[in-house]
Amino acid sequence: MECPNGELSILIVDDPEITKINETYLGRSGPTNVIAFPMQEGPFREINPDLLGDVVISLDTAAREAQQDRISVESRFDQLLVHGILHLFGFDHEKTPEQAKDMMIKEEKLLKLL
C-alpha cells in the first residue's frame, strides 16, 4: 500500500449532504457514514497517478455511531477515514466475506498506527 506522493481529498458533510451524494452517485437512499470515490480506476486514471481520490464522511452519522459504540467522535472519524482510504486502494467489504475480513484486518493494523 505504498503511495508516498499520494493525494486525496476529505470532505466532511452532514447527513442531508451525504444523502444527496449517496443517491446521486451510488443510487442508494438515505445517509451513510463514509463514501469513497477512487481516482485510480477508470479511463482517466493516468491523468494524475498520485491522485488517490475523495473520501466523504458524514459527521452526523459518525457522531451517532460513536455514541452507540461508546467511543469518541474522533475515534469513529479515524475509523471511517481509514475505511474510506482503504476503499481508495481497492479494498472492498461488500463483495465476499474473505475480502471483508481482509479489509477489517488492514483497518485494525492501520488504526493501531494512529
Over pLDDT 70: what percentage of the chain? 96
Domains and CATH numbers, the chain: 7-113 (3.40.390.30)
Distance CA 15, CA 93 (A): 22
Asked whether residue 11 carries a pLDDT value surpassing 70, the answer given is yes
Q: For 95-112, what is each residue's pLDDT tens digit?
A: 888 988 999 999 999 999
Asked whether residue 82 carries a pLDDT value surpassing 90, the answer given is yes
56: which 3 cell numbers?
Answer: 466523504
Q: What number is the average pLDDT over the span 75-86?
A: 97
pTM of the model: 0.88
Distance CA 98, CA 77 (A): 25
Write down the pLDDT at residue 6.
Answer: 82
Q: What number is the average pLDDT over the span 77-91?
A: 95
